[in-house]
């Protein structure tokens, strides 16, 4: 979207007008200032409420704001608001400018877009100075710029990657790389609202504006869904649906995620949920489905089957519901008669919890993954392998109940979270260091031969699966039983005592009542660099995103 203003100050909205709410506040307060102006006073009005903040509902809402000077001198000002990832604000109506000189009062109508699903507090303030160029925006705040609509296409020429285009695609990410305007106008680009700002503009304005289209994987994921939506309202006790999650979501509870940046709180995870149709990716000569952006920034992929390559070079991937396991009959392990056999690796004895769950012997399924990686990924080019990250794959052997050794009845953590609990709460945290399977000991336990693993039951739950409930309308459904990496329990019942990892049934339901000695599908999972560049594609099954670093 391009915004301009004509010389006669006639504003034309690019947006569908929403109802102007009569929400008002007035507060007399000192403002940010500089240039030795002293303590000057202003009030910000939104129809009479004595507060400088307003709670904004989800979506787009218009607000009337009036800035009133309580001083005897004319001062230059800029209207600012405290930064928030979910909030964007644009100038809406042509009553007055959002920056300039003020003598008594200025009235401004703003459009505030709240991209979250919950009501969000927005804090306003005014910054002043003796000259408009010297008004400095304080750290943590953003200026609300004058927003203009383009009235004549011949006033602006757009170029993407060196080629002239008639418009920009709102589904893509762009970087403004430069511009030339014949009267020294300023050009700004805001990717979050796809807004191009040009000011001040007159009938003589003419600009060439240059962009580069973003090809960075994680940026494209976020751009496809305008940054995603909070999962605060998702009910994980029910399967995904159009009303219970379909699209890209992010974790609202940081206690459920790992802290990779070391600031003491969990890092946000973005994940796909439900029957999404634009998370197909072609990499290392195979199809994959993108699952989530991991806390460490890598993008987790589950195997998506062999691609069909057309005579014209087109790529088509198997769709949701197609059996895409790499091995259709794989046992978790040939042994399953005590608690150790829920492990991706396990101890030489099971006389104590520590001995039982030490990482000494590979399970059969871990060996099968190692062999698949060796045959299918190790033969790829160095450039392809360099994009695969050493990420954590969690074999959560934390205890829900029981002591976790010998043939004692034991229920493991995921069983408590996803099966027993009335209100089911999946997690991305892996609580035990020994359960974090990685190649490098600096990242996790250092016990993985290659950077590969399986989905956890929790990842399936975030995506829309529920224990014991059929779901054929989410991207985890492949019409085939397959193992997850999460232990469920050891039942310890006489001759039929068996270890039982979670599986995903052919119906799409999570299941905890199975045996590690039964053969199910093998569905490999890898994680690739968030900065991997997309060569082509739109993410749908017959036009997947293509990553080929050799091109």
Residue identified by tokens 């005579």 is 311
Q: What is the 3-state secondary structure (H, E, C) of 415-434?
A: HHHHHHCCCCCCCCCCCCHH
Res 523: pLDDT: 96
Contact indicator for 438, 392 with CB cutoff of 8 Å: yes
Residue 76 pLDDT class (50, 70, 90 cuts): low
Tokens representing residue 441 in the block: 């000991």
In this model, does residue 103 exceed pLDDT 60? Answer: no
| pLDDT exceeds 60 at position 39 | no
The pLDDT of residue 20 is 23
Helix (H) or strand (E) holding 460: helix 457-463
Per-residue pLDDT tens for 489-531? 998 765 556 888 999 999 999 998 778 889 999 999 999 999 9
pLDDT in tens, 216-238: 999 899 988 888 999 999 999 99
Domains delineated in the chain? 7-143 (2.60.40), 153-214 (no CATH), 327-362+393-439+456-523 (no CATH)
Write the DSSP symbol of residue 352: S
Instruction: Give CA–CA dist 413/393, Å, rounded.
Output: 15
Residue 469 bridge partners (DSSP): 466
The pLDDT of 446-464, averaged and rounded, is 98
pLDDT value at residue 105: 64
Place of tokens 């995921």: 414
Q: What is the pTM of this model?
A: 0.69
**What is the pLDDT, as a whole number, of residue 31?**
37
Burial pattern 123-155, b for ≥16 Cβ within 10 A else e, equals: bbbbbbbbeeeebeeeeebeebbbbbbbeeeeb
- Could you give phi then psi for residue 434, rounded to 5 degrees? -65, -20
Mind spelling out the 3-state secondary structure of 117-139? CCCEEEEEEEEEECCHHHCCCCC
Kindly state the average pLDDT of the residues 386-411: 96
């Amino acid at each position: 979207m391009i915004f301009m203003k004509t010389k006669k100050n006639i504003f034309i909205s690019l947006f569908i007008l929403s109802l102007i709410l009569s929400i008002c506040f007035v507060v007399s307060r000192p403002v940010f200032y500089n240039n030795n102006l002293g303590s000057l006073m202003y009030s910000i009005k939104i129809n009479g409420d004595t507060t400088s903040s307003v709670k904004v509902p989800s979506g787009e809402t218009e607000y009337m704001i009036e800035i009133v000077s309580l001083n005897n001198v004319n001062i230059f000002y800029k209207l600012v608001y405290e930064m928030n990832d979910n909030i964007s604000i644009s100038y809406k109506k042509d009553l007055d400018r959002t920056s300039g000189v003020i003598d008594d009062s200025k009235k401004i109508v703003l459009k505030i877009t709240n991209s979250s699903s919950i009501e969000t507090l927005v804090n306003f303030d005014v910054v002043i100075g003796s000259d408009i160029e010297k008004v400095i925006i304080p750290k943590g705040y953003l200026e609300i710029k004058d927003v203009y609509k383009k009235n004549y296409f011949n006033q602006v020429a757009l170029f993407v990657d060196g080629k002239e285009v008639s418009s920009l695609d709102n589904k893509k990410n762009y970087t403004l790389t430069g511009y030339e305007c014949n009267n020294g106008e300023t050009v700004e680009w805001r990717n979050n609202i796809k807004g191009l700002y040009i000011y001040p503009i007159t009938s003589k304005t003419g600009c060439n504006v240059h962009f580069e289209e973003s090809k960075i994987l994680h940026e494209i994921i976020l751009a496809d869904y305008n940054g995603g939506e909070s999962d605060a309202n998702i009910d994980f006790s029910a399967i995904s649906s159009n009303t219970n999650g379909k699209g890209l979501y992010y974790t609202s509870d940081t206690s459920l995620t790992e802290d990779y940046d070391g600031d003491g709180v969990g890092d946000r995870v973005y994940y796909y949920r439900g029957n999404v149709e634009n998370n197909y990716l072609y990499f290392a000569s195979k199809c994959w489905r993108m699952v989530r952006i991991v806390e460490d920034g890598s993008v987790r992929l589950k195997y998506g089957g062999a691609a069909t390559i057309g005579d014209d070079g087109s790529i088509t991937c198997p769709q949701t519901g197609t059996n895409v396991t790499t091995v259709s009959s794989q046992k978790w392990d040939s042994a399953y008669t005590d608690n150790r056999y829920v492990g991706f690796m396990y101890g030489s004895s099971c006389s104590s919890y520590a001995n039982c769950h030490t990482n000494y012997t590979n399970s059969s399924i871990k060996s099968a993954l190692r062999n698949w990686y060796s045959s299918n990924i190790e033969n790829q080019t160095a450039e392809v392998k360099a994009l695969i990250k050493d990420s954590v794959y969690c074999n959560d052997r934390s205890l829900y109940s029981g002591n976790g050794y010998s043939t004692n009845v034991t229920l493991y953590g995921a069983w408590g979270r996803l099966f027993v609990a009335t209100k089911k709460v999946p997690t991305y945290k892996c609580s035990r260091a020994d359960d974090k399977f990685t190649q490098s000991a600096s990242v996790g336990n250092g016990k993985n031969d290659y950077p590969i693993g399986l989905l956890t039951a929790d990842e399936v739950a975030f995506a829309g699966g529920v224990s014991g409930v059929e779901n054929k309308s989410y991207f985890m459904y492949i019409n085939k039983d397959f193992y997850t990496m999460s232990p469920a329990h050891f039942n310890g019942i006489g001759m039929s005592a068996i270890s039982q990892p979670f599986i995903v049934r052919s119906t799409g339901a999570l299941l905890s009542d199975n045996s590690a000695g039964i053969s199910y599908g093998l569905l490999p999972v890898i994680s690739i660099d968030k900065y991997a560049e997309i060569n082509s594609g739109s993410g749908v099954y017959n036009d997947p995103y293509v990553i080929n670093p050799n091109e």
